[in-house]
Amino acid sequence: SAVISQKPSRDICQRGTSLTIQCQVDSQVTMMFWYRQQPGQSLTLIATANQGSEATYESGFVIDKFPISRPNLTFSTLTVSNMSPEDSSIYLCSVRMGVGTEAFFGQGTRLTVV
């Protein structure tokens, strides 16, 4: 199993600013992911955070808007850049040990952009 500490748990930000979300895992994990969940909608995968290399982004998400770092196997950050109200959402960090295994999630970061 894995325990994930994600922070901040919530924030209210001004448009045009950036917010960095941190994800700390209590054990080394290979696969780490960042999701977005808009109200009443499913989790949408933003990117896979790769240790020591650039993240792999899903269609519709770009590095300039959502830069991701993963300096080691237990830590990652997601930055939401140049925010607009459309970025208001819940952002979730998740880890897995491999295909066919369960995913573990952080508590999420509820972001409101005003």
Residues that bind another protein (CB under 8 A): 4, 6, 31, 33, 40-43, 45, 48, 92, 94, 96, 98-108, 110
Which is nearer to another protein, 65 or 110 (by Cβ)? 110
Which is nearer to another protein, 39 or 85 (by Cβ)? 39
Instruction: Report in angstroms how near the CB of residue 45 gets to another protein at its nearest.
Output: 6
The helix/strand count (H/E) of the chain reads as 0, 11
DSSP, res 59: T
Residue 72: C-alpha distances to residues 43, 45, 64, 69, 103 (Å): 25, 21, 21, 9, 19
Which is nearer to another protein, 13 or 45 (by Cβ)? 45
Instruction: Report in angstroms how near the CB of residue 82 gets to another protein at its nearest.
Output: 26
What is the rounded distance in angstroms from the CA atom of residue 71 to the CA atom of residue 93?
15
